[in-house]
Chains A and B, each alone.
Chain A
């Protein structure tokens, strides 16, 4: 990854992680839908940029530039452009997984749950990400 890709990957992880922190504390629909959600969602982009988000009773806390020893599910993308498309909602995570662009390790059901979380994120971040 070049500097631009690294920085964009970090920015995207930040948007996802901090976005989930904010939404989980402010969006009533989100809170209602995910009030029982517990899990650790980890992202690894091109094996260089990583972050994880811990959900506890639907409330998220994110950790940038870190990997968890025992994540519930890890999403790994080897191609930066694919990661960008997935994280900005331009490509559906399920389609990316089926197409082999998104590797999901761990609890696949929790992996699918992230697709539901992403819908809230994409709506919230649509003004920020081109």
Chain B
């Protein structure tokens, strides 16, 4: 429950931040990607569609043709990452999150979660 709720909150807040922060919204210009997240072995599996400067989040779902697939080691690791305590870009660079797809291109998109850390990190214990 925790990870699904946290991911839902992050994506909701990303959408809301776009409404009140023009610079953040500007970063989404031209992005058209589907990001699949898998936590093994028990999930949850979720995916995110970023297109037309909008974010759509699907909980407990697997996309057939994601642009990028990220596979986390376990639930505990996923919570640490999505609470902002371990930046997802660092986890990808160090190989702690396995990636299918162009890793360098994916790293250009992780801002959409990492830019939330200064806003929400205090709430989730990462600041």
Residues of A participating in the B interface, judged by any CB pair closer than 8 Å: 3-4, 6-8, 10-12, 14-15, 18-19, 22-23, 26, 64-65, 84, 124-125, 127-130
Selected A-B contacts with CB under 8 Å, 20 pairs: A3-B20, A6-B16, A7-B16, A7-B17, A7-B119, A7-B120, A8-B120, A8-B122, A8-B123, A10-B16, A11-B13, A12-B123, A14-B12, A15-B9, A22-B1, A23-B1, A128-B5, A128-B6, A128-B124, A130-B122
What is the number of contacts between chain A and chain B, taking CB atoms within 8 Å? 65
Q: Is B119 a contact of A64 with CB atoms below 8 Å?
A: no
Which among A7, A8, A128 is the interface contact of B2 at CB below 8 angstroms?
Answer: A128
Interface of chain A, helix or strand or loop or mixed? helix
Whether A18 touches B8, Cβ cut-off 8 Å, given contacts A4-B118, A4-B119, A8-B122, is yes
Q: Is B8 a contact of A127 with CB atoms below 8 Å?
A: no
Residues of B participating in the A interface, judged by any CB pair closer than 8 Å: 1-2, 4-6, 8-9, 12-13, 16-17, 20-21, 79, 83, 116, 118-120, 122-125
CB neighbours (8 Å) of A65 from chain B are 16
Which among A3, A14, A19, A84 is the interface contact of B17 at CB below 8 angstroms?
Answer: A3
Q: Is B124 a contact of A15 with CB atoms below 8 Å?
A: no
CB neighbours (8 Å) of A23 from chain B are 1
Which among B1, B4, B8, B123 is the interface contact of A129 at CB below 8 angstroms?
Answer: B123
Distance between Cα atoms of A125 and B5 in the complex (Å)? 9
Nearest residue, chain B, Cβ from A21: B5
Q: Is A10 a contact of B13 with CB atoms below 8 Å?
A: yes
Distance between Cα atoms of A125 and B8 in the complex (Å)? 14
Nearest residue, chain B, Cβ from A129: B123
Distance between Cα atoms of A14 and B122 in the complex (Å)? 16
Of residues B2, B20, B116, which shows the largest number of chain A Cβ atoms within 10 Å of its Cβ? Answer: B2
Q: Is B122 a contact of A15 with CB atoms below 8 Å?
A: no
Distance between Cα atoms of A14 and B4 in the complex (Å)? 12
Distance between Cα atoms of A105 and B17 in the complex (Å)? 30
Q: Is A14 a contact of B1 with CB atoms below 8 Å?
A: no
Q: Is A3 a contact of B119 with CB atoms below 8 Å?
A: yes
Distance between Cα atoms of A3 and B12 in the complex (Å)? 14
B5 to chain A, nearest CB (A): 6
B74 to chain A, nearest CB (A): 14
